[in-house]
Structure 1
Amino acid sequence: MKFSAKEKNRMKEKYGSWAVVTGASSGIGYELALRLAEAGINLLINARNELKLEEIRQDFQRRFAVQVLSVPGDVSSEDTINTIIESSKNLEVGLLIVSAGFGTSGEFINNSIEAEKSMLRVNCEALLILTHHFSKVFVQHKRGGIILMSSMVAFQGVPHAANYAATKAYVQSLAEALAIELKPLGVDILAAAPGPVKSGFGQRADMKMGFSLTPEQIGAPILKALGRKTTVLPGTLTKFLVYSLMTVPRRVKVLIMNKVMGNMTRHQAQST
């Protein structure tokens, strides 16, 4: 979807000249960072892949004449989170996008507890710390925007991805509540809840994705929704999947997701 000149101007006028984007080296995080750079917004970007992050920094500066600072590191580490916060203190940051995240899948009892704990730190704890810090900054400035990456799996339990879906339910619930709390103080909160997306996520989670969206299809709709909605379901596929289950009892949704996710992770059982 095209990111119009009108929307680019709105983002810069409403949220200022600097944005912080985690998970910016690939997938949705990269696409959102790219769209912001196109809009002339300076970036502080974070991802685990230091070499890729440096390539992006140089590319964006060359193509869009924006300032780009990079903070490589895994946000499961508080040192990385603290470095992001410290690096932003002298910048007029008005926008935070928390896109760093990963998923686990398969039978819960067979998964590594260390991987499950790491996912909680990345998907929930790091998101909480960054959201708390920048919310206070934005309230002081009486303006700001925060985009938190939820998922369509946030709306019911998902067997074979139980803990991952639970982390996204946390993100969704937090975003919905903060949107009400912070709106009167000038801060917009958005939960972005896409369906399956072609990115490195599926490979890391060891899931075989069927029909899926591309980051290019959902970047602009997510940014367009900030300040206008509390939750955005970006992409036609996402809307179809969510709305088709809307009137279904919650337990039935869980049973449906059991079948869907079971098919996506069946190869794990076959390989053991």
Structure 2
Amino acid sequence: MRENPSLDVNRYGPWALIVGGSEGIGAASACLLAAQGFNLILVARKAEPLSALAQELAGAGVEVRTGSVDLSQPDALDRTRALTDDIEVGLLLYIAGANDTRGNFLELDPQVYRSVIAITVIGQAEFTRHYGGLMRERGRGGIILAGSLSNFCGSATVAAYTGAKAFSRVFTEALWAECVEMNIDVLHVVVGYTDTPAMRRLGLDTSSAQSPEDAACEMLAAIGNGPLLLLGGEASLKIATARSQLADRGEVIRTAGTPRRESMPHVSAN
């Protein structure tokens, strides 16, 4: 049976900001945190799932604020700050960053890779700098930035995505080293194969994937054990290890990189 993690509201609260909090691991994290007395700010692009989740959490006796924010736009942080400047955010979870468009980089619409870089690189840096800076002033807090197994090597048709995820991991590792003396816990979460709505929308077979609830439990329980958490158990560790080999990188990329979508198991042909 899964054991829910216990987080100290006095250390990480009273408010938790979840960027990408409308579904999947973000929504599962919101439910776990609400049950422990955290007030929540949930930010994502689509307003409808945010509203539905806020209604679901209403019975937990905590306050929930939601904001429909396009994280690929330059005003994403300002729009989020409009929800948080009058409260104390002690926990930042940046879970957003799924990829639904593939193609050779030289043939992509520039808006595709600009959006990927804006959400994962610029977004994580900007949100971390603002909310982490406030945590530094208070001398406490926690930051969790989510990445992907794809960060360990470049892969064809997802060049910007794999590059952005590599930034996320290395950035978080450096941030962890800097924040130890500030009493801010920092963790990078490498998300493995997870049964999220985003994966199902792509038509992928998620029957053997980790549930968002299990992923969220594992992630929140590890917040004080940074800098890196690899979700997905032994299978994810095997993939990460294969992709991290330094010798013969060309062969590593050809054989161990993220496969082209047409070669992945699908529920239906999409």
Q: Structure 2 vs 1, CA of residues 68 and 40 (structure 1 numbering), >3 Å: closer, same or farther?
A: same
What TM-score, normalized to structure 2? 0.88
The one-letter code matched in structure 2 to 1:12 is: V
Please give the alpha-carbon distance, in whole angstroms, between the structure 1 residues aligned to 2:56 and 2:115: 31
Q: Tell me if structure 1 keeps the 8 A contact 2:71–2:119.
A: yes
2:111 maps to what in 1?
114
Residue 261 in structure 1 maps to residue 259 in structure 2? yes
The one-letter code matched in structure 2 to 1:78 is: P
Secondary structure class of the residue paired with 2:160: helix
Q: Structure 2 vs 1, CA of residues 14 and 34 (structure 1 numbering), >3 Å: closer, same or farther?
A: same
Secondary structure class of the residue paired with 1:78: coil
Please give the alpha-carbon distance, in whole angstroms, between the structure 2 residues aligned to 1:247 and 1:79: 39
The Cα of 1:42 is off from its aligned counterpart by 0.6
Deviations 1:139-190 (A, max 9, x none): 0000011100111111111222211111100100110000001110111111
Q: Tell me if structure 1 keeps the 8 A contact 2:143–2:187.
A: yes
Q: Tell me if structure 2 keeps the 8 A contact 1:105–1:207.
A: no
How does 1:166-245 map onto structure 2 within 5 Å? 166-202=163-199, 206=202, 208=204, 211-236=208-233, 237-243=235-241
Please give the alpha-carbon distance, in whole angstroms, between the structure 1 residues aligned to 2:116 and 2:245: 31
How does 1:58-137 map onto structure 2 within 5 Å? 58-62=55-59, 64-103=60-99, 104-137=101-134
Percent sequence identity over matched residues?
26
Q: Tell me if structure 2 keeps the 8 A contact 1:100–1:123.
A: yes
Secondary structure class of the residue paired with 1:35: helix
Q: Tell me if structure 1 keeps the 8 A contact 2:34–2:62.
A: yes
The Cα of 1:113 is off from its aligned counterpart by 1.6
Please give the alpha-carbon distance, in whole angstroms, between the structure 2 residues aligned to 1:248 and 1:201: 32
The one-letter code matched in structure 2 to 1:89 is: D
The one-letter code matched in structure 2 to 1:55 is: A
What TM-score, normalized to structure 1? 0.87
Please give the alpha-carbon distance, in whole angstroms, between the structure 1 residues aligned to 2:8 and 2:262: 39
The Cα of 1:115 is off from its aligned counterpart by 1.2
Q: Structure 2 vs 1, CA of residues 250 and 199 (structure 1 numbering), >3 Å: closer, same or farther?
A: farther
Q: Structure 2 vs 1, CA of residues 170 and 244 (structure 1 numbering), >3 Å: closer, same or farther?
A: closer
Secondary structure class of the residue paired with 1:150: strand
Q: Structure 2 vs 1, CA of residues 67 and 240 (structure 1 numbering), >3 Å: closer, same or farther?
A: same
Q: Tell me if structure 2 keeps the 8 A contact 1:175–1:190.
A: yes
1:156 maps to what in 2?
153
The one-letter code matched in structure 2 to 1:241 is: I
Please give the alpha-carbon distance, in whole angstroms, between the structure 1 residues aligned to 2:232 and 2:263: 27
Query: Mind listing any 5+ residue stretches in structure 1 that lack a counterpart?
Result: none
Deviations 1:22-43 (A, max 9, x none): 1111111111112111221110
Q: Segments of 4+ in structure 1 off by > 6 A?
A: none
Please give the alpha-carbon distance, in whole angstroms, between the structure 1 residues aligned to 2:23 and 2:118: 20
Q: Structure 2 vs 1, CA of residues 249 and 105 (structure 1 numbering), >3 Å: closer, same or farther?
A: farther
